[in-house]
Amino acid sequence: MDSRNIRLAVIPGDGIGAEVVTEGLKVLEAVVGTKVETTTYDLGAKRYHETGETLPDPVLDELRGYDAILLGAVGDPSVPPGVLERDLLLKLRFQFDHYVNLRPVKLFPGVETPLGGARPEDIDMIVVREGTEGLYAGTGGVMRRGTSHEIATQESLNTAHGVERVVRYAFEKALGRPRRKLTLVHKTNVLTYAGDLWARVFDRVGLEYPDVETDYCHVDAASMFFVSQPERFDVIVTDNLFGDIITDIGAAIAGGIGLAASGNINPDRTAPSMFEPVHGSAPDIAGQGKADPTATILSVAMLLDHLGLAQEAARVEQAVADDLVERLTGWAGRTTHEIGDDITARVTG
């Protein structure tokens, strides 16, 4: 990676996507200098309306050639629900085999949390969310649509292959952290088929990691503990849908969706990984400079880390941490640009 430029595909997407991505790139360029080459793709609601395209195959093929993808946000009320999500965002995750959706839940010092008593050391976990299976497979169907006898089904698909690789990744992650604790979150008492597979794989792989303390928690209890006892968790591994839900609770307790970063990772590197803030396109505040670019900037740090630039990643994360501490002293009311500029200055300074 050091010998040549980083080739980055950028998908600003919809709503506030473009604004936050601009700041993410500003920080990225500041930290790696001219070593980054970006190409922007106009995927999202606008292109869908103009051409009917969401993610055409030639574009998908082209994207495959990049080192990584930075995505802002997709989704717009003018597009039928599910279209951009399924045919653009989820298509990228599935086609590029992003089987690890990595979502840190970390309360930075200086950040306000809605949890009265929580300190930064209480909220410091990583959720390893499966990214290519489960209810996100999109299988299911409908019969007698629109009648009083309609039935609609939705299927969760889980494979030993898919579960084992993400569970293994999570054990490795846990091994690399001081607490070395891994919690499986599922609903084995109700989703008995899928839960049994997850639990068996978790137990079996766990035998190879005697130094990692393991634990199990039903998703309902885990959701409660995120609020009442977040310090219970270190690394969590869970399925696609449960991961979606608990990481949003995680975002809430760690200071809000404006700070939550994520990486859609293909650990085998058979396709580029994709980094994106957890937040959506927030069309209601788009174009007003109100969006917090911090989540995107933290996603850039994850991107750098994934590309082997650990020092640069750490510099970005430190710059964000310092910026967040400053907010304590009433440094509020900055625009998207101003926050980006301030973090950039810290990275270069």
Ligand X SMILES: CC(C)[C@H](C(=O)O)[C@@H](O)C(=O)O
Residues that bind ligand X (CB under 6 A): 85, 89-90, 189-190, 220, 244, 278
86 near a copy of itself (CB under 8 A): yes
Q: Choose, from 87, 122, 248, 341, the residue flagged as catalytic.
A: 248
In this structure, is the dihedral angle defined by the CA atoms of residues 15, 105, 319 and 305, taken in order, positive or negative? Answer: negative
- Measure the CA–CA gap between 343 and 340, rounded to whole angstroms: 5
Which residue matches tokens 């959506």? 280
213 near a copy of itself (CB under 8 A): no
- Beta-strand ranges (E) seen in 187-331 are 213-218, 235-238, 261-265, 273-277
Partner from ligand X, a copy of itself, none contacting 203, C-beta within 5 to 8 A by type? none
Partner from ligand X, a copy of itself, none contacting 308, C-beta within 5 to 8 A by type? none
Assess whether 239 carries a catalytic annotation.
Answer: no
* Spatial CA neighbour of 295 closest among 342, 336, 261: 261
| Cα 208 versus chain centre, distance | 27
259 contacts: CB under 8 Å, gap ≥ 6? 108, 111, 251, 292, 294, 295, 298, 324
22 near a copy of itself (CB under 8 A): no
Partner from a copy of itself, ligand X, none contacting 284, C-beta within 5 to 8 A by type? none
Partner from a copy of itself, ligand X, none contacting 78, C-beta within 5 to 8 A by type? none
Which residue matches tokens 């404006």? 258
Assess whether 76 carries a catalytic annotation.
Answer: no
Contacting positions for a copy of itself (CB under 8 A): 75, 81-82, 85-86, 90, 113-118, 135-136, 138, 140-142, 144, 146-161, 164, 187-197, 199-200, 219-221, 223-228, 241, 244-249, 251-253, 256-257
Which residues are marked as active site? 136, 187, 220, 244, 248
